[in-house]
């Protein structure tokens, strides 16, 4: 099947959304019992962590951890937002920089100003979007970013999106309650699919869509470590307690360029392999053998692949043993094991 298909369904009783591109699983979002990223708490400062510049906070969903706590004292109430999924056994990661994000608009209370996505280069469109932004944000002392999805969107839809996010931000920021409380829930998989998968696509909402569109088969494959890279090459993506290990193999290609070809294929395939498995944190790539002079070519290919990814990932660099290290935001719930 050619083209993009978004399937909204459930997996083992949990809300889930899948993006299939040309018949292959490109992205997967599954709900979990953990607090959703984007959730806003009124939290209470609890215990500072010496040497780390952070503090544990009390929330209705358990302990959270906040970095950069200058001026924050135990017992103080503070607004924070869940920034990702916690590692097993660790506190919920949160930030003080609140963002209210929808399909077309992002409200930034701590960063005033009206901004248009840099990927929108048509000057007449940028001018039109700025007019919409000025009118919708008139009198509001908050920042606004209009996303690239505004291209081709109806002006009224963009305005409605801005107003909805601005009103939500004002409601949260105007909170005058006391004690630990959830002020705004993060978006679930179906809303996230509408919000972030903005390329033209067929949308399937019928029950059993995952089975009908081969999503279940793709999920079963993703539960394994093996990823086919073509031409006999492959990689294994495996999560350990400390990190995600990626092992790249050339297969039967024993040519001088075999290692580089396998590594370039791994660079292109890595973002999707991590997304559909819901993996983040520290990532170490054990690459196929290649000359040091080819490292720059590999880095360029990996950076290009990550630019097209929706999840923030930083290239940390090469280790003395020749491994490539990355640090990836935990923006997805991990793919759960198959139900018994």
User: What is the tens place of the pLDDT at every residue in 266-292?
Assistant: 999 999 999 999 999 999 999 999 999
What parts of the chain have a pLDDT lower than 70?
Answer: 1, 339-340
| CA-based torsion, 10, 12, 15, 16: positive or negative | negative
pLDDT averaged over every residue in the chain: 94
- What is the rounded CA–CA span in Å between residue 25 and residue 31? 17
Q: Which residues contact 254 (CB under 8 A, 6 or more apart)?
A: none
Strand-strand pairing, 54-59 and 40-49? antiparallel
| C-alpha span between 14 and 146 (Å, rounded) | 31
Set out the domains of the chain in order of their start, with CATH numbers.
1-31+188-222 (no CATH), 40-97 (2.40.50.140), 100-177+183-187 (no CATH), 224-328 (3.40.630)
- Tens of pLDDT, residue by residue over 245-274, are 999 999 887 787 899 999 999 999 999 999
Gap between the Cα atoms of 328 and 338, Å rounded: 25
Cα-atom radius of gyration of the chain, to the nearest Å?
22
12 contacts 339 by C-beta, under 8 angstroms: yes
Given this model, what pLDDT does residue 253 score? 79
3-state secondary structure of 327: strand
Q: Is the pTM of this model over 0.85?
A: yes
Residue recorded with tokens 């699983």: 25
Closest CA to 88 of 32, 138, 144, 46: 32
| Structural tokens at position 18 | 């899948």
Cβ pair 204, 16 in contact under 8 A: no
Provide the pLDDT for residue 49.
86
pLDDT at residue 255, as a whole number: 83
Which three-class secondary structure state does DSSP give residue 162?
helix
């Amino acid at each position: 099947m050619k083209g993009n298909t978004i399937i909204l369904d459930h997996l083992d009783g949990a809300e889930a959304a899948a993006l299939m591109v040309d018949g292959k699983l490109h992205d997967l979002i599954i709900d979990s019992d953990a607090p959703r990223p984007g959730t806003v708490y009124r939290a209470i400062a609890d215990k500072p962590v010496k040497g780390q510049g952070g503090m544990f906070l009390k929330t209705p969903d358990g302990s959270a951890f906040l970095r950069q706590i200058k001026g924050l004292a135990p017992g103080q109430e503070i607004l924070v937002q869940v920034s990702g999924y916690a590692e097993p056994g660790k506190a919920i990661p949160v930030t003080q920089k609140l963002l209210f994000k929808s399909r077309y608009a992002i409200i930034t209370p701590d960063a005033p100003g009206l901004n248009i996505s840099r990927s929108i280069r048509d000057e007449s469109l940028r001018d039109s979007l700025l007019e919409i932004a000025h009118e919708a944000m008139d009198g509001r002392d908050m920042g606004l970013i209009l996303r690239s999805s505004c291209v081709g969107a109806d002006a009224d839809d963009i305005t409605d999106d801005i107003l909805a996010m601005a009103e939500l931000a004002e409601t949260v920021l105007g909170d005058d309650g006391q004690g630990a409380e959830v002020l705004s829930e993060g978006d679930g998989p179906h809303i996230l699919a509408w919000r972030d998968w903005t390329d033209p696509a067929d949308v399937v909402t019928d029950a059993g869509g995952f089975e009908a569109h081969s999503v279940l088969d793709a999920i079963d494959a993703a539960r394994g470590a093996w990823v086919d890279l073509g031409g006999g090459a492959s990689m294994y993506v495996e999560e350990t307690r400390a990190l995600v290990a990626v092992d790249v193999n050339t297969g039967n290609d024993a040519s001088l360029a075999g290692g580089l070809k396998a590594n370039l294929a791994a660079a292109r395939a890595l973002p999707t392999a991590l997304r559909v498995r819901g993996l983040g944190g520290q990532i170490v790539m054990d690459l196929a053998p290649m000359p040091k002079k080819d490292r720059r070519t590999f880095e360029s290919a990996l950076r290009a692949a990550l630019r097209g990814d929706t999840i923030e990932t930083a290239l940390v660099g090469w280790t003395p043993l020749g491994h490539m290290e990355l640090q990836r935001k935990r923006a997805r719930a991990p793919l759960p094991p198959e139900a018994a």
